[in-house]
Amino acid sequence: MNIQSKSDSYAAAGVDITAGYKSVELMKAHINRTRNEGCLDDVGGFGGCFGLPTDIEEPVLVSGTDGCGTKVKLAILLDKHDTIGIDAVAMCVNDIICCGAKPLFFLDYIACGKNYPEKIATIVGGVAEGCVQSGAALIGGETAEHPGLMPLEDYDLAGFAVGIVDKKKMIDNKTMTEGDVVIALASSGVHSNGFSLVRKVFDVENADLTTPIAELGGKSIGETLLTPTKIYVKSVLALLEQVKVKGISHITGGGFYENIPRSIPDGLGAKIQRDSIKVLPIFELLAKTGNISERDMFNTFNMGVGMSIVVSKEDAEKALEILKNQGEDAYIIGEIIKSDNKIIIE
C-alpha cells in the first residue's frame, strides 16, 4: 500500500531546506572574521579542516564541549541573540586554557524549532565574535531544524573547541606548594551557569526584564543576565609566556566549591579570604531575592570570580601586572595551605 500523499515533502513536515541554505550564506561573513593560519578550506564541505602548527615539539590536543544552559531562554524571551554565541565559545575555550592550551578551532551546533535565517546568522555572529576574542577559527557547524520536538521560536546552542599545547608546557599542579598565591580574575556577571536557579528566583517568564534597577547600576535584569561570559584566553596566554602558572580553575557550574579543588593536588588546599572577593551586585540581588544561603551561592555561582590562578608568592606581583595590562581586574583572594580540604572559604 502506498501511504505517501501528493503533499508529502520535507517542507510539509516542517523543515525548510532553503532556509538552511540562506542561513549558511548569511553566516559566511561572520565566519570569515575568524579565519587564521590553520584554516584549509571554506565553509560548505562535510568536515572542517585545520592544519596543525609544526613548531611544537610534542603537541597535545586539548578539547572541550559545552553549551549555554538555560541562559538561552533569556535570549529567547528578550529576542536578543547577538551575544549568546560568545557564551558558547567562552564555556569551551575557558576550559581548555586551564591546561595551558591555545584554542585552534571551534564548531557550533544549533537546534531550533524553525530555521529563521536572519536569527540563526545573528547567533552565529556571536559565535564568531567569541572565536575572534579567543583566537579560534570557526571551521564548521550544524543547524538542525526540529519541528514537533521544539517550539518554533526556541533553540539551543552548544559548541566544541580544540586547542594545542606542547606537552612540556602543560600546567602541572604537582608543582604547587604551601604559600603559593591564589589570584582571581573578575567575571563579567553570572556567565553561563546556574540559570535554572536564576530563572526560578527572578521568575523570568513573568518578570519585567527591561526596566533599569538601581541595585544593578541602572541596568535591567535582562541586560545584566545576558551579559556574555568573559573570555580569558588571550590574557592567560600572555601570562603563561612570562610566569610559571601552577594551576587554573574556570569557575563554572558548582561555583568555588567544585571548581577550585579541581586544580589543587592532594594534601593541599586553597584558603580563600571571603572579604577579599569582589561580589557583583547581581549575586547580592539573587541571594536576597531568593533567600539563598552564602554557602549555596558559592556552591552554585562564580560570585564575581570567573577564573582563579595559582602562582608562587614571588611571581604574584608580576602576574598581577601582566593580567592588569591585559585588561583584567585581577587581585589576590587567598593562598595555598597544607590541608585535607581542598578549599576553605573564611
Q: What CATH number is associated with residue 165? A: 3.30.1330.10
Distance CA 327, CA 83 (A): 20
Distance CA 251, CA 269 (A): 16
State the pLDDT at residue 38: 87
Confidence bin at 345 (pLDDT 50/70/90): very high
At residue 123, what is the residue type? I
Q: Are residues 216 and 321 in the same domain?
A: yes
Total tally of structural domains belonging to the chain = 2
Distances (CA, A) of 53 to 37, 50, 94, 189, 239: 9, 10, 21, 35, 21
What would the grid cell of residue 250 be?
A: 574556570
Long-range contacts of 210-216 (CB under 8 A, 24+ apart): 210/78, 213/285, 215/281, 215/284, 215/285, 216/281, 216/282, 216/285
State the pLDDT at residue 271: 98
State the pLDDT at residue 171: 96
Distance CA 88, CA 164 (A): 19
Which stretch of 24-28, 257-261, 288-292 has the lowest confidence by average pLDDT? 24-28
What would the grid cell of residue 144 be?
A: 538542525
Yes or no: say if 45 and 142 are a contact pair by the CB < 8 Å rule.
Answer: no
DSSP 317: H
Q: Are residues 222 and 257 in the same domain?
A: yes
| Longest CA–CA separation in the chain, Å | 81
Which stretch of 8-12, 254-258, 324-328 has the lowest confidence by average pLDDT? 8-12
pTM above 0.75, yes or no: yes
Determine which helix (DSSP H) or strand (DSSP E) holds 202, and give its type and residue range. helix 195-202
Decide which of 42 and 201 is more confident.
Answer: 201
Q: What is the pLDDT of residues 71-120, one digit of tens each?
A: 999 999 999 999 999 999 999 999 999 999 999 999 999 999 999 999 99
Q: Are residues 216 and 318 in the same domain?
A: yes
Q: Where are the alpha helices (DSSP H) in 33-175?
A: 71-78, 84-96, 117-134
Q: Are residues 46 and 161 in the same domain?
A: yes
State the pLDDT at residue 37: 85
Place of cell 551586585: 281
* Helix, strand, coil tally for the chain in percent (to 5): 40, 25, 40
State the pLDDT at residue 6: 45
Q: What is the pLDDT of residues 202-223, one digit of tens each?
A: 999 999 999 999 999 999 999 9
Examine the pLDDT at 308 and tell me if it is beyond 90: yes
Residue at a domain's end among 145, 169, 193: 169
Q: Indicate the SS3 state at residue 284.
A: helix
Confidence bin at 143 (pLDDT 50/70/90): very high
DSSP 305: E
State the pLDDT at residue 27: 80
Examine the pLDDT at 125 and tell me if it is beyond 50: yes
Is 189 inside a domain boundary?
yes
Percent of the chain with pLDDT over 70: 94
At residue 276, what is the residue type? S
Tell how strand 59-67 and strand 330-338 pair up: unpaired
pLDDT, average across residues 38-42: 79
Q: Are residues 151 and 240 in the same domain?
A: no
Examine the pLDDT at 46 and tell me if it is beyond 90: no
Q: Are residues 231 and 107 in the same domain?
A: no
Distance CA 300, CA 319 (A): 28
Is 149 inside a domain boundary?
yes
Percent of the chain with pLDDT over 90: 84
Q: Are residues 228 and 334 in the same domain?
A: yes
Is 214 inside a domain boundary?
yes
Place of cell 578539547: 63
Residue at a domain's end among 169, 197, 224: 169
Examine the pLDDT at 3 and tell me if it is beyond 70: no
**How far is C-alpha 254 from the chain's CA centre?**
14
Q: Are residues 127 and 186 in the same domain?
A: no
Q: Are residues 207 and 138 in the same domain?
A: no
Domain that holds residue 61: 17-169
Q: Are residues 157 and 73 in the same domain?
A: yes
What would the grid cell of residue 343 be?
A: 578549599
Q: Are residues 118 and 142 in the same domain?
A: yes
Examine the pLDDT at 1 and tell me if it is beyond 50: no
Residue at a domain's end among 169, 201, 236: 169
